[in-house]
Amino acid sequence: MPYTAQAPNRRESNEELKARIPGWGVDLDPADRPAFPQERFAPEVTGAHWDFPERQPGAETRERSIEHRFVTPVFGTSAPLHGLSGAIRRFAYDKFSEGRAAHWLILIAGDRVDAAGSHLRSFFTLRPDNPVSETGVKAELTHGGFRSRFGRGRADNRHTWIDSILIAGPWVLAGVAAFSIVRRLAKR
Amino acid sequence: MRAMVYRGPYKVRVEEKDIPRIEHPNDAIVRVTHAAICGSDLHLYHGMMPDTRVGTTFGHEFIGVVHEVGPSVQNLKVGDRVMVPFNVYCGSCYFCARGLYSNCHNVNPNATAVGGIYGYSHTCGGYDGGQAEYVRVPFADVGPSIIPDWMEEEDALMLTDALATGYFGAQLGDIVEGDTVAVFGAGPVGLYAAKSAWLMGAGRVIVIDHLDYRLEKARTFAHAETLNFNEYNDIVVEMKKTTDYLGADVAIDAVGAEADGNLTQHITSAKFKLQGGSPVALNWAIDSVRKGGTVSVMGAYGPIFSAVKFGDAMNKGLTLNMNQCPVKRQWPRLFEHVRNGYLKPNDLVTHRIPLEHIAEGYHIFSSKLDDCIKPIIVPDAS
């Protein structure tokens, strides 16, 4: 008990643990643990054969955190900024440091504009977004949706229903809005 | 090539994309043979990570075969079978020179607070990930390693993040002989952390979750005691009772941003994105550990603030250790443990999903259907 000086008795001795658990204690010495100490100066082991990496082309237009002096020598190019969402994101990068909540909240706003715009644009392509196939909800039927969720005391059952609203809600609202616009135009 | 593509929160599909090209002299292009979905991919999938752009390919756990190398690559050649750490890192900056590979300063222009991660939003550098047929691997002389001949491919895949991170989480606990270690979360990383805690000399390992099938795995795979927090009114009190009211010596948060157990915390973070993460497991860890104890955090949180019980941590004199795992530092020791049979990584793989069915894969993992613990993606199977 913590109310007296002695530590609680061990439930199992080292010998019992070694007999029960393969490898028990092989890394007991911190020196055998590879991330100990967490900081260890050893640039020679990394494989790098440069003091500063050669610069990847394309940095001129690349957005960056204003906490960086320059665009890092290497960077990802998976989805360059574009359109309205790109302008929102660039604003977040240009105006606010990572220390400001505004930086992140504006980026999340940009994410939602990006998603909505992409959905809309997809309807003018040969492969429009399909909320049924893209959510993978078919797996509810093929991988035991009911038996996996119910009668098993899962804590997440209390909020799973919110997902349906978050996922389907915008589509339903957009559908209602589109229908009402078409109906008004038809009445004219 | 075929690649998983993000279309917005909760929506992904497979699209035809250009095969990535060499963009830097030390790049390699790797043909992916196996990839995995990580629990942290679900934070992206649920729209929690700022600057996650439509069109991005996720996937930071992958292995494959070198398809092409840039002109300055010395250590790899076309045809090599490689495992790639989830960290993108240069090997030469202030942080890499000190072993903090996950905190590299030369690979992520979008943020200084996090390094580079494959397929993990522009907040982590804007790199496409490995849930595709091909992927660009920057700093090919630094990150990837050739897969040893004796190692099974699925074991190598688990070493690119989940096992390395779990083992790293146990290290962050600074475990000493006989310690009682509480692991919050019985997902793959938590299970690997529990198993690793024994290697470091733990006297008791207790795993806490709400999914019985994962707790069963904690007992059989990780030899741990288990507590289902849903069966108790207050899991913190239960932790005190089971440790004779002392508290655990070490508590490990292996859950991160979408923790369950407190409806308000979960909804404000995972559903409405008003917090960087739901710190339920972290708060439980802080309150369950003994005064003067250590809390290890390798569960992932977003960059926005979270409602963490910092006063309790301060008043209890806790040591909080945390980081993204510098994967390659762990490998030599973990290779030994796998070869000696102390760790059997692919015991946690439950689902093998063709790339074409990636949307169902995400839904199964996200919704914990079919007793899913670890799903892997097989591009070739399509």
* Among candidates A67, A98, A115 on the partner chain, residue whose Cβ is nearest the Cβ of B303: A98
Are the Cβ atoms of A134 and B359 closer than 8 angstroms? yes
How would residue B7 be classed by pLDDT, with cut points 50, 70 and 90? very high
Are the Cβ atoms of A25 and B200 closer than 8 angstroms? yes
Q: Is A134 touching B (CB cutoff 8 A)?
A: yes
Fill in the DSSP letter of residue B106.
S
Are the Cβ atoms of A136 and B267 closer than 8 angstroms? no
Angle at B121 between CA B116 and CA B122, to 5 degrees: 70
Cα Rg for chain B, rounded, in angstroms? 20
User: DSSP for B227-282?
Assistant: EEGGGSS-HHHHHHHHTTTS-EEEEEE---TB--S-HHHHIIIIIT--SSSBTHHH
Are the Cβ atoms of A41 and B100 closer than 8 angstroms? no
| Whole-angstrom distance, CA of residue B307 vs CA of residue B269 | 10
- Which residues of chain A lie closer than 8 angstroms to B363, CB-CB? 135-140
SS3 A130: coil
Q: Which two tokens stand for residue B33?
A: 């043979």
| CB distance B204 to B175 below 8 Å | no
- Which residues of chain B lie closer than 8 angstroms to A145, CB-CB? 367, 369
| Whole-angstrom distance, CA of residue B133 vs CA of residue B3 | 6
Whether residue B273 is predicted with pLDDT greater than 90 in this model: the reply is no
Listed as own residue / partner, the contacts of A4-11 with beta carbons closer than 8 Å and 24 or more positions apart are A7/B246, A8/B243, A8/B244, A8/B246, A10/B178, A10/B203, A11/B203, A11/B204
SS3 B286: helix
Are the Cβ atoms of A145 and B367 closer than 8 angstroms? yes
- Amino acid in position A132: V
Count of other CB atoms within 10 angstroms of residue A188: 4
Are the Cβ atoms of A63 and B201 closer than 8 angstroms? no
Find the distance separating the first CA and the last CA of chain B, reported in whole Å.
Answer: 12
| Whole-angstrom distance, CA of residue B265 vs CA of residue B261 | 8
Ranges of residues in chain A whose predicted pLDDT is under 50 = none
| Whole-angstrom distance, CA of residue B196 vs CA of residue A133 | 39
How would residue B21 be classed by pLDDT, with cut points 50, 70 and 90? very high
SS3 B145: strand
- B82-108 residue pLDDT tens: 999 999 999 999 999 999 999 999 999
In B78-228, where does DSSP find H-type helix?
Answer: 153-159, 162-172, 188-199, 212-220
* Among candidates B7, B247, B343 on the partner chain, residue whose Cβ is nearest the Cβ of A134: B7
SS3 A149: helix
**pLDDT averaged over chain A?**
95
- Which residues of chain B lie closer than 8 angstroms to A74, CB-CB? 24, 88, 90, 106-107, 116, 138-139
Pick from B331, B338, B348: which is nearest to B142 by CA? B331
Mean pLDDT of B113-121: 98
Pick from B30, B94, B96, B17: which is nearest to B65 by CA? B30
Pick from B108, B84, B107: which is nearest to B30 by CA? B84
- Amino acid in position B109: P
Are the Cβ atoms of B199 and A23 closer than 8 angstroms? yes
| CB distance B211 to A153 below 8 Å | no
Are the Cβ atoms of A104 and B23 closer than 8 angstroms? no
The domain ranges of chain B are 2-161+326-378, 166-322
CATH for B166-322 (3.90.180.10, 3.40.640.10, 3.40.50.720, 3.30.70.3340): 3.40.50.720
- B22-36 residue pLDDT tens: 999 999 999 999 999
pLDDT for the residue numbered A163: 87
How would residue B270 be classed by pLDDT, with cut points 50, 70 and 90? confident
Mean pLDDT of B2-9: 97
Q: Which two tokens stand for residue B236?
A: 């913190």
- B34-46 residue pLDDT tens: 999 999 999 999 9
User: DSSP for A26-44?
Assistant: TT-SGGGSTT-SS----GG
- B146-189 residue pLDDT tens: 999 999 999 999 999 999 999 999 999 999 999 999 999 999 99
SS3 B37: coil
Are the Cβ atoms of B90 and A53 closer than 8 angstroms? yes
| CB distance A104 to B45 below 8 Å | no
Whether residue B382 is predicted with pLDDT greater than 80 in this model: the reply is no
| Whole-angstrom distance, CA of residue B323 vs CA of residue B273 | 22
* Among candidates B26, B331, B360 on the partner chain, residue whose Cβ is nearest the Cβ of A139: B360
- Angle between helix B188-199 and B162-172 (nearest 10): 50
Fill in the DSSP letter of residue A79.
S
Find the distance separating the first CA and the last CA of chain A, reported in whole Å.
Answer: 82
* Among candidates A1, A93, A129 on the partner chain, residue whose Cβ is nearest the Cβ of B244: A1
Please report, for residues A45, A91, A145, B34, the alpha-carbon distance to residue B131 in angstroms, rounded to integers and kept in the order given. Answer: 29, 30, 24, 8
B2 strand-pairing partners? B16
For A89, the closest chain B residue by CA position comes to B51
How would residue B271 be classed by pLDDT, with cut points 50, 70 and 90? confident
Are the Cβ atoms of B10 and A167 closer than 8 angstroms? yes
pLDDT for the residue numbered A178: 87
- Which residues of chain B lie closer than 8 angstroms to A118, CB-CB? 7-8, 54-55
Count of other CB atoms within 10 angstroms of residue B159: 27
- Hey, of A9, A15, A33, which one would you mutate to test binding to chain B, going by the most B CBs within 10 A of its CB? A33
Whether residue B381 is predicted with pLDDT greater than 60 in this model: the reply is no
- Which residues of chain B lie closer than 8 angstroms to A115, CB-CB? 7-9, 47, 54
Fill in the DSSP letter of residue B124.
G
Report the b/e string of B349-372 with b at 16+ CB within 10 A.
bbbebebbbbbbbbbbbbbbbbbb
Q: Which fold has domain B2-161+326-378?
A: Quinone Oxidoreductase; Chain A, domain 1 (3.90.180)
- B318-334 residue pLDDT tens: 999 999 999 999 999 99
31-70 in chain A: CB under 8 A from chain B: 32-36, 38-43, 46-54, 56-59, 62-65, 67-68
- A122-174 residue pLDDT tens: 999 999 999 999 999 999 999 999 999 999 989 999 898 898 888 888 888 88
A51 min Cα distance to partner chain B (Å): 6
Q: Is ipTM over 0.90?
A: yes
Are the Cβ atoms of B364 and A139 closer than 8 angstroms? yes
| Whole-angstrom distance, CA of residue B379 vs CA of residue B382 | 6
| Whole-angstrom distance, CA of residue A110 vs CA of residue A12 | 55
SS3 B11: strand
- Which residues of chain A lie closer than 8 angstroms to B137, CB-CB? none
pLDDT for the residue numbered B274: 86
